[in-house]
Structure 1
Amino acid sequence: ENSRDLPLHTVVDVVAPVVHLPLHDHSTVGEWLEHPVGGPLLRDALGGFAALLGPDAEPAFAAFLVSLPVVKLPAMVPGSVSPEQLDGLLAEVAG
C-alpha cells in the first residue's frame, strides 16, 4: 500500500505574524497601502485622490491602481502626488 492511497485529509490553520517587506519606488500602490507605515503616509499624501482606492471606487480602476508601481502614480493620476512627494515618502518609510 502506498501513502498516496491513504484516505486521510485534514485542514491545518497556521498562525504566523504578518511580514511587511521594505517599500521602494517600484513597490505597488497596494503594497504601500497594506504597509503599517507607508499606508497612512500614502493615503495622507493622496488627499482626495485616496477616494479612487476606497470602498466607493470603481472596482476595475481601483484594481489597476493597486497593481501600479507607486513611481508611476504621478504620470498615471496627474495631480495625485508629485515625484518630490514620493521621494519624501520613501525617505520617511526608510526611517
Structure 2
Amino acid sequence: MESWTKKDFDVLNEIEYFSFQETYTQKQIDLTVKKFNKIIEYILKVYEDFEGAYNFYIIDEFDGEYQGNGEYCSQSTVGYSEDSYRGTYYFPIRNKKYLAVEYEC
C-alpha cells in the first residue's frame, strides 16, 4: 500500500464536500478511499473502543487533556441530552507530530 500524501488529503476533502474543483481519476479516488479505510481500520484494531472515527490529519501541535502514552484528547458533549460526544484524539507519531483523529459517538 502506498503512503498517505497531501494529494490524498485534497481528494478526501473534495469527496467530503462534494466539490471536485480538481480533476481526479476514479483510480485516484478509489486509492485514497482505500488508504483512508485502512488507516481507520488500523486505529479501530489497536483501540478497540475507539468508535466513530471519521476524519484524520497530521499536525504539529495538539489540544486537549493528557490521556497517557503521549496521547491527548479534546472532547465535548453534543445533542439535546448531551449523551453524545464529539472530539479529536491525538496520537503521537514521528518527528514530534500528531495524528489527529476526529470522532463522534
Question: Which structure dedicates a bigger proportion of its chain to helix?
Answer: 1
Which TM-score tier does this pair reach, normalised by the shorter chain?
under 0.3
Normalising by structure 1, we get a TM-score of 0.25
Higher RCO by CA contacts (8 Å cutoff, separation 6 or greater): 1
Give the structure-2-normalised TM-score.
0.24
Quick check: which one's strand share is greater? 2
Larger Rg: 1
